[in-house]
Amino acid sequence: MPSNESLKDFHKSFTGAIRSWASHEHSFLIFIAGALGIVCGLLAVLFDILLEWSHEIFFGHTGSYLGADSLIYLYVAIPIIPAAGGLITGFITWYFKMDYETASAAEVMKWAAVDGGQVRPRTVWFRMLATSIFLGSGGSGGREGPIAQICGAMGSVMGQFFKMSTDRLRLLVGCGAAAGIAATFNAPIAGVIFTVELILGDFNVISFLPIVISSVMATTTKRLLLGDVPAFVAPSYSLVSYWEIILYFFLGIICGLVCRLFFVSYFWAESYFKDDLKIHPILKPAIGGIVVGVIGVFLPQVFGGGYEVMGEMLNGDIIWYIAIALIFLKIIATSIALGSGGSGGMFAPALFIGCMTGGVFGTLAHALFPEMTATAGAYAMVGVGAVMAAAAHAPLTNILMGYELTGNYLIILPVMTACIMSTYVMTRFTDMSLYTEKLRRRGIQLWRGRDRSVMDNIKVADVMRRKVTTIPENLPFGTIMELIANSRDNYYPVVDTDGKLTGVVSMQNVREIMLDSDDLCNLVVAKEIATEDVITVHGENNLNEAMEKFSVIDIEQLPVVSVTDPRAIVGMLSRMDVIAAYKKEVLKKSTKPPETDKQP
């Protein structure tokens, strides 16, 4: 066997050669993104197999042994099975000290925004094992959050192996999350937008290509192994009348209100199990499992993610009053199952709740207006995206997912209407999504993919550049051009004879004058081309306040003025300076191991 030193030398040589290749046109990053997509496709297939095995062990074998129609199975075994799965999940979570992480996509957002893309390798197998047991035993939850974690963690593991930078680690976490969602839903576009809209919180062309490649490769890999099978079979759709848009408008409002009920219920249950229920943490998921099991005795549709049940609703095979009961019981079952510490995500339950809500609304609409409305299944399909859009504050992801799942462009207008309205209604109650609220309760406040708590603690005065190139307001345009030619700035404060701020000259102002005659060069002065309504910051502002001002009119630099004199220039702050300071602070935080991160 090779010695440890030989392995270290090989790893050093191999990664050195790889990094050398990586320095050219991001070619290696593209290659890694593709390889990650293939690995994530395989992980998604393995995850599906484990879920099927787990379900067969818990329900299939038990039903065969006791008799699927026996009273013991129906009224004793069914409540106990989710409790047993919760107990096993609670034990392995406690034993491996993973209780400070949930199974939702909120953790992936945290990895990207706060942890600098650093994720422990054991997250991959732990989350797969815990979720397979929990969902396979009937726990009410989804597999989408866990698979986003599994694949996001794999992206981090691959990046750490090649000793990549923090920016690339964050990107690979996002690539993995996109690949996992794409493979799960068989929807590559939704996987990409999910990552851009939720995980990374921003968009740029450099990061977009690797995310797309990962998403496509994961979807292709899963299709090659399992076939082109959609998450659920949606009915054909047609917009019977454009007057239906009004009905979809109201459906969006109702979905927003239902989402609010889900939001309140979930966080009440989480607070109760975390703070009020004083028992050993191993037992908490078991208690949640018992409650879910009791509900499942009467309505077993609440078990798991519920994709088969959604398929029935989409095809009009569920009676409307059963669907109404499922809306509220799924909210209760999911809130208790996940709030007690179960390993499942919130994505599928939100889709389920939206599907039932849309189905009930569609049944009523079709009964009242049979000639101008589609069947209940069409409204159920629109509801699928609307509740999740409100829950995640991610309408774009769910709009595109609705199109991918149906393959029908005609559904776009209804889905857009309902998703936008449901999200708007939800934002009237809170500006936090289910994911960001989970993190906020742990002291992490994300804004556009960044931790607000980090930005709150850094002052503008600590980041700004104190050397400022100012332009006298009577300086001729020709001289301004000479000054700009010797500077790397894009924005220049314009000052009067007392050195007080009167405006800002930007490169855009300069380009406008350059399009005119050269004769204007000595006639136009700085004051005439400057923007007078100047947005400024002062040194005591924190970086969150500065970033909000940057976003007002999408500018790259801001003048920093004195607190006592709003016209006295003391420095310049650039957007890149803010981002660099944030990354530096995040790097410091990510190098500190969590106190709970101890091996058993």
Identify the pLDDT of residue 36: 95
Identify the pLDDT of residue 449: 62
Smallest Cα–Cα separation from 183: which of 51, 344, 37, 346? 37
Residues 485 and 431 in one domain: no
* CA 517/CA 208 separation, integer angstroms: 41
CATH number of residue 488's parent domain: 3.10.580.10
Tokens 């069409």 sit at which residue?
A: 378
The answer to whether the CB of 497 falls within 8 A of the CB of 526 is no
CATH number of residue 363's parent domain: 1.10.3080.10
Residues 121 and 206 in one domain: yes
The residue from 448, 475, 498 where one domain ends is 448
Residues 485 and 571 in one domain: yes
Residues 66 and 196 in one domain: yes
Strand partners, 501: 495
Q: Is residue 597 part of a domain?
A: no
Identify the pLDDT of residue 28: 81
Residues 437 and 476 in one domain: no
Q: Is residue 596 part of a domain?
A: no
Identify the pLDDT of residue 330: 96
Identify the pLDDT of residue 242: 83
The residue from 232, 260, 278 where one domain ends is 232
Q: Is residue 407 part of a domain?
A: yes
Pairing of strands 491-495, 537-538: unpaired
Residues 224 and 254 in one domain: no
Q: Is residue 2 part of a domain?
A: no
The residue from 175, 199, 232 where one domain ends is 232
Identify the pLDDT of residue 595: 44
Residues 444 and 479 in one domain: no
What is the DSSP secondary-structure string of 162-202?
Answer: TT--HHHHHHHHHHHHHHHHHHHHT-HHHHHHHIIIIIS--
Tokens 């409540």 sit at which residue?
A: 79
Residues 327 and 276 in one domain: yes
Cα 203 to its chain centre, rounded Å, is 13
The total domain count for the chain is 3
Q: Is residue 213 part of a domain?
A: yes
Smallest Cα–Cα separation from 170: which of 119, 115, 109, 117? 117
Q: Is the dihedral of CA 225, 230, 236, 240 positive or negative?
A: negative
Identify the pLDDT of residue 164: 85
pTM, entire model: 0.81
Residues 461 and 444 in one domain: no
Cα separations in angstroms, 208 against 164, 172, 191, 202, 554: 18, 11, 12, 10, 21
Identify the pLDDT of residue 600: 37
Q: Is residue 190 part of a domain?
A: yes
Residues 84 and 15 in one domain: yes
Residues 440 and 470 in one domain: no
Q: With H, G, I as helix, E, B as strand and everything else as coil, classify residue 69.
A: coil
Residues 152 and 204 in one domain: yes
* CA 311/CA 309 separation, integer angstroms: 5
Q: Is residue 350 part of a domain?
A: yes
C-beta neighbour count of 514 within 10 angstroms:
13
Instruction: Print pLDDT tens along the chain (600 aa).
Output: 455 565 555 556 555 555 554 445 467 888 899 999 999 999 999 999 999 999 999 999 888 888 888 889 889 999 999 999 999 999 999 988 887 778 888 899 888 888 888 899 999 999 999 999 999 999 999 898 899 999 999 999 999 998 888 888 889 999 999 999 999 888 888 888 888 888 877 666 667 889 999 999 999 999 999 887 766 666 677 778 888 999 999 999 999 999 999 999 999 999 999 888 889 999 999 999 999 999 999 999 999 888 889 989 988 889 999 999 999 999 999 999 999 999 998 989 999 999 999 999 999 999 999 888 888 888 999 999 899 999 999 888 888 887 777 666 778 889 999 999 999 999 999 988 899 899 888 877 776 666 666 777 788 888 888 888 888 888 887 777 777 777 777 788 888 888 888 888 877 777 666 655 555 556 777 777 777 888 888 888 888 888 878 776 667 888 898 888 888 888 888 888 887 777 677 666 655 544 444 433
Cα 161 to its chain centre, rounded Å, is 25
Q: Is residue 593 part of a domain?
A: no
Tell me how far apart the 2 most distant CA atoms of the chain are, in Å. 97
Residues spanned by the domain of 424: 244-448
